[in-house]
Structure 1
Amino acid sequence: MKTTDRNRTVRSGFLAACCAVALVAGCSSTDADSDPAPDQAASSNEVTIAVTPTTTTVVDPGAEPRRVLAFDTADSDEQTVDLTTTSTVSQQIDNGAPQDFSSPDLTVPLSASTSETVPDDDAATGATRSVELTIGAATSPDEGLTDALAASEGSTARLASTDSGAITALHITPADAALDTARAAIERSLNAAVYRSVDFPDAEVGVGAVWTVDQQVLSGITLNQRSTVTLRALDGDRATLDVAITQTPESSTWNLPDNAGTLNIATYTFTGSGTLEIDLTRPLPVGGSITAGGEQMYTDPDSTTVLRQTVGDSIGWAAR
């Protein structure tokens, strides 16, 4: 094999490995594998995943009557819901055969309660309440993953949150016997919930109101995510929200980890939509789903190698 051909083969293999790792984690905006590294607590196995801040802007206040929508869950009973997440990634280098780097679908039963006692580190992020989660017997169509998940039953998590619903931190404490594959899958699912959550503006709004929620998503590439939220219906404390999502890369260049070089982002599309059912007396959505997807193309500045990806994800909530 000529030296140039060999170098191109090695570079293509490197691109495949690098992009697959980054975008399998990042394609759904969940980014659990390539977010800033979680902090491992010294005295326990709790993992803390920082969450990027959100900026909420009212576009249209909607019809009268209007009111400030805020969560008040202090007196609510324990909430039980199923969180279901999916993530697909198809990748192709040049004219090679497409490769599937999708993650198995996952359904995680959650029991949630709210505490107004906020640890100091969470209070520093602006959180005013803690949502305590207990993880039940998670399942997947992948039998191997379901088997691995068995030992994770009883794991716990905590969401640091504001009264407007903005999540400022995610803490996960796996069960002692939890396997690494199951821990990673649950982290991805909970992180998906964080980056598909919606917070309310601090202004008064009525039916028909529209607001945007801007947030950066870190997935190897820094992405600017905008969620456009429409208050379709409001019945007491029950709100029906239509959500449209777009992501755009902050830069046209991807600086690979560990000074491994750069890739040009030739094209990047990622959009989604769905509906969430929110009960302001409950800490988690009581129903609804959001589905998103797109296509990306990356080029190697030092060769003619082109990498294309088609990605998709969904998140769903169902009350139990």
Structure 2
Amino acid sequence: MIVLALGLSAFGAGCGDGAEVRSVSDGTEPLGLGKEVTVPITAAVAAVVQPGAEPREPLRPRYSEGTVQQVTLRTDHRIAQQINDQPVRDYSTPALTIPMTARSGPDGIECTLGAVSTPDPSLNKALGTADGSRAGFDLSELGAITALRLAPNPDTANSARAALEQAFYQAIYQSVTFPDEPLGEGAVWTMRQQIAGGVNLDQVITATLAAREGDRLTIDLTVVQKPRNESWNLPNNAGALDIQDYVMHGSGTITVDLGMPLPVAGTITVGGHQTYRDPHSFSVLQQTIDTRVTWSE
């Protein structure tokens, strides 16, 4: 059995106009060759539960083209895995701190990465060549991310590429999409999204508009993920594992400025445990996972 890489990066083939377009599945191989790779993302669909207090108005990103923002993304992803009665093994990836300059453009948000850092010495050295790499997000008018674009520098090491990909995937699946209806303070809405992978997930984020000061919104979030099928298809046609138990949930608070491209503050933590059984050998694989995403200016 191999460590799971749910929702992370292995990409099927496809290309056009010099930039690759790939679909997300499971695996550990990073994006390659310094090309810009575009990964389609199933957009979250928002629905109002409570519209909130008056006054109410539709919430939309309001930044003009060319708006520039300095922001830092921090991610921490921990995985503990056990097979049968073997010792628990740690497959956690090092925490990353990614300073970036975000600029709104005609095709979405373009980000230029600064000096990415991590406590892991070897990965920190590999990340030294990633300075100046680019990332981007395509957005709907309601703020839903519909594609992730990544263009690491050509000489960026594979370990650094993979770490950056994982960080951005963790971030985009905890982003905020607004409903089409007017909202006021205290409003509650859900954001439903499918996450593609060996285990296809249904994710529901419940958002509460806790406070508003002008364009600055404080939004409380709760997250629930559930598998859409009963098995996990292993990468490289290596078979499938039956899902015996799958519990993933989380919460956090994020601050959004409608006049800025990316969140200005906040932390969201998602974690839980999963149990899989090999139907042929009856071996059992258990994982405990915890992911934290933090934004700051």
TM more than 0.5: yes
- Computing the radius of gyration from Cα coordinates, the structure with the larger value is 1
**The 10-residue stretch of structure 1 (240-249 or 173-182) with the greater mean CA deviation from structure 2:** 173-182
* Residues 191-243 of structure 1: per-residue CA shift (max 9 Å, x gap): 22211101111100111111110111123100111100000001110000000
Counterparts of 1:42 and 1:90, CA distance in 2: 41
Structure with the larger helix share: 1
The answer on 1:66 being equivalent to 2:44 is: no
- What's the secondary structure of 2:163's corresponding residue? helix
Secondary structure of the residue that 1:145 maps to in structure 2? helix
The Cα offsets for residues 275-307 of structure 1, whole Å up to 9 and x where unpaired, read as 000000001000000011001111121233111
How high is the sequence identity, in percent, across the aligned residues?
41
Return the letter of the residue paired with 2:9: D
Structure 1 distance, partners of 2:248, 2:125, is 33
| Alignment partner, residue 195 of structure 1 | 173
Q: Aligned runs of 1:1-320 on 2, under 5 Å?
A: 15=1, 17=2, 20=3, 23=4, 25-26=5-6, 31-34=7-10, 36-37=11-12, 39=14, 43=18, 45-74=35-64, 77-115=67-105, 117-118=106-107, 130-319=108-297
- The Cα of 1:40 is off from its aligned counterpart by 5.5
In the TM superposition, residue 47 of structure 1 has moved relative to its aligned partner by: 1.1
Unaligned runs of 5+ in 2: 20-34
The separation in 1 between residues aligned to 2:18 and 2:141, in whole angstroms, is 30
> What TM-score results when the alignment is normalised by the length of structure 1?
0.84
Counterpart secondary structure, 2:149? strand
TM (norm. structure 2) is: 0.91
Q: Could you say what the CA RMSD is over the residues aligned between the two structures, in angstroms?
A: 1.6
Q: Secondary structure at the match of 2:244?
A: strand
- Count of residues paired in the alignment: 282
1:261–1:176 distance in 2 versus 1, CA, 3 Å: closer
Q: Structure 1 segments of 4 or more deviating over 4 A?
A: 38-42
Partner of 2:200, secondary structure, is strand
Deviates more, 1:153-162 or 1:267-276: 153-162
Q: Distance in 2 between matches of 1:171 and 1:38?
A: 15
